Structure 1
Amino acid sequence: MFIEDLYRAIQRGPKGSEVKEALITWEDPKGNFRTFEIKK
């Protein structure tokens, strides 16, 4: 799973829900974290 996939899922929301807005602010990495992962 990629960040973009997660963003699309957030925009859709769960079945029967209404998502009014979902925003992402992209920034250059600052090196604060050694690793990043999304687990299912």
Structure 2
Amino acid sequence: MKKIIAGVDEVGRGSLIGPVYAGAVILNKKINTKLLKD
């Protein structure tokens, strides 16, 4: 079985009623992470 790890982040400042947005990403192990910016 192949193991996959997903990085997830969400935003929705105190949103009891308002919208919440979430994003997820799965990258290839060979990617050069030095090129990524947060």
TM-score by length of 2: 0.32
Q: Higher helix fraction: Structure 1 or Structure 2?
A: 1
Q: Higher strand fraction: Structure 1 or Structure 2?
A: 2
Bigger Rg, structure 1 or 2: 2
TM-score by length of 1: 0.32
